[in-house]
Structure 1
Amino acid sequence: MRIHEILTCASRFAASRRQAAELAGRKEEQRRWIQVKAYRDFLASTGQVYLFEDYLTGSVPTPRPQVSTAIQARPESTSQRVMTLLLQTFDETPEEQSASVLIHLVNFIADTGQLEACEDYIHNRLEYAPLAIAHFSTHAEAEAWLNGLAEPPSPADILIGDEYHLAWYSREDNARGMYRDYVIEPYIEEFVAKGIPPTSQSFETCAEAEGWLKDHPATPFDLVSIAGEHYLAVHHKRLKRHTLHPVASALAEWEEKKRAARREEARDLAAEVEGEDE
């Protein structure tokens, strides 16, 4: 079974346990299973799926999974509480494989020195911008990075200029590529729906706005005006930089993207109906 299928099975298992806890009114357990999902999200968002596959392959099989010493050294931490739940689940459930994968996932994050970053992601991700792992000024720079790595992070969002792109890589056939990813546009849509604040900062140029944002970081979003046009300023804490997204053109692109998706969905439905009629 490929790593993506393994992680999908483990995610479904965690979701079913979360739902069972919710139906039974076990609020604390429900919250822990939501956090388990966040470890999986962190792994995917940072493009470490294949690194985790190698970690799994190199793990020595034991009757009961061991706990990373890095987790043991953090008593009362989120990771320790999550691990306690996963070990208890491993002991109680016949679906040991999925529970074991989730235990190894948390251990992988711990053994690679990412516990602090992951727990920060778990507790604060709703207050952070969508995660991007790298920034490039041009497509050419991004393509050189993607093609120059033996195994690039995958899948993972990167920034090219001020736009999100999803970089992907397939270990199975060594294919790789990137495409525009519309992850910030829903945030812009939400901000506009709330109303443009009349007191937003105003600048003549993007350079002026960027200079001001260095000393006044967005938290993580702020609306600013540049040459009379509204922009959403987005603070990327991990990359220590801001991006500026023109509100009007971003929303226009987002609406066209949604219309295209609806057209494609309608075509697929029509083809399905036509097939049933034959």
Structure 2
Amino acid sequence: MKIFEPLSNASLFAGKRWRSAMSAGREEESELWRYLREQFSFISELGQAYQFEDYLQGIPSTPPPYVSAALDSRQEAASRQAMALARKALEEAPGPDQAKHALILINLLNFLADTGQTADFEDFFTHRLDYAPLAMASFATREEAEIWLKGLAEPPSPARILIGDEYYLAWYSREDGSRGVSRDFTIEPYIEELTARGIPPNTPSFKTREEAEAWLVHHPASPFSFLAIAGEHYFAVHHKRLKRHTLHPVARSLEEWEEEKKTAARQSAQ
């Protein structure tokens, strides 16, 4: 996945400047650097890295940098301000590496504009704390997810998906054609943190899952909520893009997360 190295480096480049501007009290500039940095999170979580790699092939490599015409109609938008900041960073880059990072940020803005995703990204950026971690597709079973993955000539990768009530990571390597799905412990840290603060004493209680799901249709979690089903606590997660909720049994989720952390610690030690 060659595209991930320049994307990651550009994200680090923006992150350093975000922290520098923030520590210097330049709030507006720091927010724009955060905007540029979050582009990486957006396309990564939606599995669009290879699409971006292909997009770069059609961008002129000679100066001045290409700027999408789709941005012209968004003069007041953060994307226009971010573009001005990224172009300034390109012009003032002290070396070729920094220039490459700035150019990636510029072309991420262009990619989002040319693919009609700027408004979606700005919603993601502005309301990220109001949304659950993104998942781009939902499947009832792992078999369904694997059939979907195998049926695509070039799947989105890596991309979070939902299988039943769990997060999984769907991945594909353009270099060797391999692909697969693996469990992704995305929501468990949230459950751990919020449970540690204490489960609210007056959580909604239901006899069956069907009753809970019917109630959530009219009372969506924002984006998380505790409830009880047949006396057991669950963590409800609202997936706005997919128009559904997942329900995570708190006790089992915490046990699985502890096991996952122990496994990761053993692998790290080895």
Q: Check whether TM > 0.5.
A: yes
- TM class, shorter-length: over 0.9
Q: For residues 14-60 of structure 1, give each alpha carbon's deviation from its aligned partner in whole angstroms, at most 9, with x where no partner exists.
A: 22322332444323222211111111110101100000000001112
The CA deviation at 1:63 is 0.8
Normalised to the residue count of structure 1, the TM-score between the two structures is 0.92
- Aligned residue for 2:222, secondary structure, equals coil
Counterpart of 2:107? 104
**In structure 1, what is the Cα distance between the partners aligned to 2:255 and 2:233?**
14
Aligned residues: 267
Q: Residue 113 and residue 265 in structure 1: after superposition, are their counterparts in 2 closer, same or farther (change >3 A)?
A: same
Question: Larger Cα Rg: Structure 1 or Structure 2?
Answer: 1
Alignment of 1:1-278 (within 5 A): 2-94=2-94, 95-266=98-269, 268=270
- Aligned residue for 1:231, secondary structure, equals strand
Q: Return 6-15 or 80-89, whichever deviates more.
A: 6-15
- Aligned residue for 1:58, secondary structure, equals coil
- Aligned residue for 2:182, secondary structure, equals strand
Aligned AA (1:191)? L
After TM superposition, what 4+ stretches of structure 1 lie above 4 angstroms from structure 2?
A: none
Aligned AA (2:165)? D
**In structure 2, what is the Cα distance between the partners aligned to 1:83 and 1:252?**
45
- What percentage of residue pairs aligned between the two structures are identical? 57
Q: For residues 135-190 of structure 1, give each alpha carbon's deviation from its aligned partner in whole angstroms, at most 9, with x where no partner exists.
A: 00011100000000001110110000000000011101111111000010011112
**In structure 2, what is the Cα distance between the partners aligned to 1:113 and 1:224?**
38
- Aligned residue for 1:239, secondary structure, equals coil
Q: For residues 185-214 of structure 1, give each alpha carbon's deviation from its aligned partner in whole angstroms, at most 9, with x where no partner exists.
A: 011112211211121111111111111111
**In structure 1, what is the Cα distance between the partners aligned to 2:194 and 2:17?**
35
Aligned AA (2:106)? I
Aligned AA (2:101)? S
Q: Return 78-87 or 21-30, whichever deviates more.
A: 21-30
Q: Can you give the 5+ residue segments of structure 1 that lack an aligned partner in the other structure?
A: 269-278
- Aligned residue for 2:144, secondary structure, equals helix
Q: Return 78-87 or 17-26, whichever deviates more.
A: 17-26
Q: Can you give the 5+ residue segments of structure 2 that lack an aligned partner in the other structure?
A: none
- Aligned residue for 1:63, secondary structure, equals coil
